[in-house]
Amino acid sequence: MEFDGEVVKQGTWLYADEVICDIRILKRGWRYGTGDYEDPPAVREERKGEFYYIEFGSTVKRGEYASGGCHESLAEALNAAESATHGTVK
């Protein structure tokens, strides 16, 4: 995944109780839309604003990330990250 956005939080999380993986939260000035004509406009279209994206580091290669979703506040993103990693974020 190409890097874009401002890193506002970063750390590690524990995969399968034994593999240390990176995690970061990026702040971006937009939210990606789905582009699907069947979705309502609020979901389909990209939106400008302040949004927070979680990116989970690869379990096999440091420095590679996969998207973990978009959130409308930093607090929401932090809660989602804690939940997704079963409370193993440091």
Query: For residue 45, is it within any domain?
Result: yes
Q: Closest Cα to residue 89, out of 18, 26, 10?
A: 10
Per-residue pLDDT at 34: 80
Per-residue pLDDT at 3: 56
Range of the domain at 30: 6-84
Query: For residue 57, is it within any domain?
Result: yes
Q: Is residue 12 a contact partner of residue 22, using CB atoms and an 8 Å limit?
A: yes
Per-residue pLDDT at 26: 95
Query: For residue 18, is it within any domain?
Result: yes
> In 5-73, which ranges are continuous DSSP H helix?
41-44
Tell me the CA distances in angstroms from 77 to 16, 40, 64, one per residue in order.
21, 23, 19
Distance of alpha carbon 40 from alpha carbon 51, whole angstroms: 19
**Is the full-model pTM beyond 0.95?**
no
* CB atoms near residue 40 (< 10 Å): 9
Each residue's pLDDT, cut to its tens digit, for the chain (90 residues) gives: 455 789 999 999 999 989 999 999 999 998 888 888 898 888 888 888 899 999 999 999 988 999 888 999 999 999 999 999 999 999
